[in-house]
Amino acid sequence: MLSEVLWPFRTSQRTSTATKPFALTYGHDAVLPVEISVKSARVAYQQGLTPTVSRLDDLDEDQLAALDRMQVQKKKVAATYNKRINPKHFQEGDIVLKAMLLVGARDPRLGKWSPTWEGPYTVYQVLRGGAYRLCYLEGSVQMRPINDKFLKIFHLTIWDLE
């Protein structure tokens, strides 16, 4: 059954390469069994051909063109994804809140109104790759670094002053 499933996949055109995987591999489209019994013009033409250097050169050009199309498509996907990303940059001394990462961290008395952020913390050290080491406001340092996607800047509110 696997070969029957893979055949349509290998002989259908892909959007990213604008060609068929079979054609990229072998340099020409697959000959379907129906075409052999009907004696199509393509089969007759292919039977008269012998492999030449020009066909191999065409294969390389087709593969390079497919690679170019794939790279362009990947850049479009990356640009679309990066439009929605809002990078965060914190400096040492910034006061931040940390997301509550534990799954069962909700207070059963508060239910869905349980806080989702904890803190405030101070950024103690900026590490590579968007990671930060935090410390409590009283000064003790957390040894485990945390990624910037789990942090947000702390804004003082009226309720924090009480």
Residue 23, C-beta contacts closer than 8 angstroms, at least 6 positions apart: 29, 30, 62
Q: Which helix (H) or strand (E) covers residue 16, if one does?
A: none
pTM over 0.75: no
- The full set of domains in the chain, from first to last, is 2-84 (no CATH), 95-161 (2.30.30)
Please state, in angstroms and as integers, the Cα–Cα distance from residue 62 to each residue in 19, 70, 106, 123, 161, following that order.
9, 12, 57, 52, 67
Residues 33-84 have pLDDT tens digits of 665 555 555 555 666 644 444 444 555 777 778 878 888 998 998 888 888 8
Residues 99-147 have pLDDT tens digits of 886 666 677 787 778 778 888 999 999 998 889 999 998 888 988 999 9
- Residues 96 and 121 sit within 8 Å (Cβ to Cβ): yes
Give 8's pLDDT tier (boundaries 50, 70, 90). Answer: confident
Laid out side by side, the sheet with 151-153 consists of 146-147, 131-136, 117-126, 95-99, 151-153
